[in-house]
Amino acid sequence: NAGVMQNPRHLVRRRGQEARLRCSPMKGHSHVYWYRQLPEEGLKFMVYLQKENIIDESGMPKERFSAEFPKEGPSILRIQQVVRGDSAAYFCASSLAGPTGELFFGEGSRLTVL
């Protein structure tokens, strides 16, 4: 199955630590999107990346959050100095055709900040 792969599926961090979430898109897909789902809410767009480029980061918090999609390897969503409010499910999605393509979502990474 060459679906969108996210890891880790579950991550526990203490306040102040760093969290790194990884996403490998579907084979052949070069467009990656990160979404966050807070408890009892819908998914909220965070960032859209293509290989080595951030296309749209309008949904990213201004501080502590960063994302990359290097030429080789998975996309990484990095959260520095985590706080309890960062506890959420983080979903990665990929598409073949960018803005006009269907999104395929991974199973999500659930971050818990103690």
Among 19, 21, 43, 111, binds other proteins (CB under 8 A): 43
Query: Is 16 or 101 the residue whose CB approaches other proteins more closely?
Result: 101
Residue type, 11: L
Is 67 a binding residue for other proteins by CB under 8 A? The answer is no
Distance CA 39, CA 43 (A): 10
Is 8 a binding residue for other proteins by CB under 8 A? The answer is no
Residue type, 23: C
First to last CA, the chain: 34
Query: Is 93 or 111 the residue whose CB approaches other proteins more closely?
Result: 93
Radius of gyration of the chain (CA): 13
Binding site for other proteins (CB under 8 A): 4, 31, 33, 35, 40-45, 48, 56, 59, 91, 93, 95, 97-108
